[in-house]
A and B are shown apart, each in its own frame.
Chain A
């Protein structure tokens, strides 16, 4: 280690050697982690072997699409 090494190390240590993050960083992490673990767990639950879709879930994004589907069936029968 020569004089230049000492100079570089001193310059960096003097400025950032004692730098510490603010305590609010951990609070922000904890908040985001709490919301993330909730959504991650929900996601994981769908992979469980006992998981079944909600029986009341209608596989149509809107009532309109349901009517169109029925209309399509009607046309098929007529044909």
Chain B
């Protein structure tokens, strides 16, 4: 797996996992520094809930500690962390569908965008795109998050999800097709024309 840790430290993940097995908490801190942002971002983009994403991030690293003996040391730990975060995020969504929490829904809706230089119209279009993504089946949403937000390759996504590369390609293809259709339906009503082909 070619997925590199975002940090430029020379210490390979495998060495840190070995240290973690010996109970060195500094190794856990180092791995947290490396992966906290992409794991949090992924969980946030799937759950769209700041509190849930933070809980999932915490649980990922607790599992990293408790499962350190079973984690491979010859590859990056990134795919393993992504996998756990995605599974926990999907579980959280399923649970929330059964027990909708109005407060967290409102909080999630009002999580502010960190970039403020977009125009009102651009923000409206972006919100529409995010709404359209949210309406996709969960496996397609996950692939879209990893591909467009995390910038991972099809092979990296396939390794994380433990599915064939063709499956990732297919989910991306059908996800994009559905988005194109939904956004095309919306455009004439708004009077905004975007060439999406």
Contact = CB atoms under 8 A, between A and B. Distances in A.
Interface of A: 2-5, 7-22, 24-26, 28-30, 32-34, 36-37, 40-41
Interface string B102-137: 000000000001110010001101110110010000
A20 B126 contact: no
Contacts of A17: 41, 114-115, 149
A15 B54 CA distance: 16
A33 to B, nearest CB: 5
A26 B158 CA distance: 29
A14 B52 CA distance: 20
Contacts, number: 116
B23 A41 contact: yes
A38 to B, nearest CB: 10
B62 interface: yes
Given A5-B176, A11-B130, 13 more contacts: A7-B125, A7-B129, A8-B129, A8-B133, A8-B179, A12-B45, A12-B149, A13-B148, A16-B44, A18-B115, A26-B29, A26-B36, A34-B25
A33 B28 contact: yes
Contact of A12 (B23, B66, B145, B195): B145
A17 B32 CA distance: 18
A26 to B, nearest CB: 6
7 contacts: A9-B149, A12-B149, A15-B113, A17-B115, A18-B114, A19-B53, A29-B58
Contacts of B54: 21-22, 24-25
Interface in B180-197: 180, 183, 194-197
A19 B195 contact: no
B130 A12 contact: yes
Instruction: Give 8 closest A-B pairs by Cβ, nearest first.
Output: A11-B129, A11-B126, A18-B114, A21-B40, A12-B149, A4-B196, A9-B148, A16-B45
B148 A3 contact: no
Contacts of A41: 23
